[in-house]
Amino acid sequence: MTASPTPSHSGTLYQPGASFLHRLHPLTKLTFSLCALVVIFSGPGGWLSALLPGLLALSLLWRAGLGRLAARLSFRLLAWLAVIMFGIHGFFGPDNQTILFNLGPLEVGQEGIEFAFLITIRLAAMLLVSLTLVLTTHPSHLVQALTEFGLPGGLAYLLGSPLLLLPQMVVRAQAIHAVQQARGLETQGNLLQRMRALFPLVAPLVFSTLVDVEERSLALEVRGFSAPTRKTFLNELVDTRSQRLARRGLIALSIVTFLLGVGWRLYASS
């Protein structure tokens, strides 16, 4: 990317930098992420198909200096989920036949543990490959890449804007929470009290967001969002022949892996 100054704050997961991952064209990273997801969920070999893309993504992030952050984010998001998965499937998995050990009156089944392991590995891999895109690509650059690729501007905006508007909504939700608390709303306590507090918190957030959407759309129109001209861009997204080839290669690889996965499942079931 060229011309744009470095931001001091972005409000998204995006981490400014100049690593090789940052320099890759957003479409290359998007293609990698999407193809990796195909491999993770449909490749042959079960957890191995998930583990390889996950490790590849982690090593790429590590090389870009974002490995620790990615690992920390993944751990935070997945740790509690993994505990629940292993608990539920270990104890109550419908396919549990081989009992590994007993915990009091409960039996822990090998099949359930294996299934929980597969799901956890898949989720971790999915998260890591997504982070290669999210941590190194600003949403505006992704939208630009999609627009330059030929996606209608409105659709590209629709895809990209939630990533940037989310932090704004969080700030607003915090403000509404503070205001309602100042007006005596009890947001702590038992489940019933919390449920009761939900509407006064959510309703103003939804209504004010809807009002904002109208004003924002007017502002966008005034700034030529629907102008009948071909858009240009301040920042140049550098794309290369090798990246274009790599994208095609990734797509081909994911199709082959998908077909192999289908064949492998058919073979395994027969």
Partner 1 sequence: MPALDVSGLTYTYPGSSVPALKNVSFQAESGQLLAIVGPNEAGKSTLSLALAGLIPALFHGEMLGRVAVCGLDTRDHSPGDFAGRVGLVLQNPVNQLSGMRYTVYDEVAFGLENLGIPRIEMPGRIEQALVQVGLVDLRHRSPYTLSGGQQQRLALASVLVMSPSVLILDETTAMLDPQGRQEIFGVVQSLAQTGVTVIIVEHHLEWIARHANRVLALENGEVILDGPPDQVLTSARLRKNGVGWLRYTRVAALGQSRSLWPANRGLPVTLKETAAGFRSNGQE
Name the site residues for partner 1 (rule: CB under 8 A).
Answer: 3-12, 14, 138-140, 143, 157, 160-161, 164-165, 167-168, 212, 215-236
Q: How far is the CB of 157 from partner 1 (least distance, A)?
A: 7
Which residue number, 226 or 242, has a Cβ lying nearer to partner 1? 226
Least Å from the CB of residue 111 to partner 1: 47
Which C-beta is closer to partner 1: that of 229 or that of 270?
Answer: 229
CA nearest 29: which of 129, 115, 114? 129
CB of 180 to partner 1, least distance (A): 21
Q: Which is nearer to partner 1, 110 or 208 (CB)?
A: 208
Q: Which long-range contacts (CB under 8 A, 24 or more apart) does 88-94 make?
A: 88/112, 88/116, 89/113, 89/115, 89/116, 89/119, 90/116
- Tally the residues of the chain: 270
Looking at beta carbons only, is 5 or 184 nearer to partner 1?
5
Q: Least distance from C-beta 225 to partner 1, angstroms?
A: 5
Q: What is the CA radius of gyration of the chain?
A: 23
Query: Looking at the DSSP assignment, which residues form a beta bridge with residue 99?
Result: 109
For the bound state, the minimum distance from the C-beta of residue 82 to partner 1, rounded and expressed in Å, comes to 33
Compare residues 16 and 263 and give the one whose CB is closer to partner 1: 16
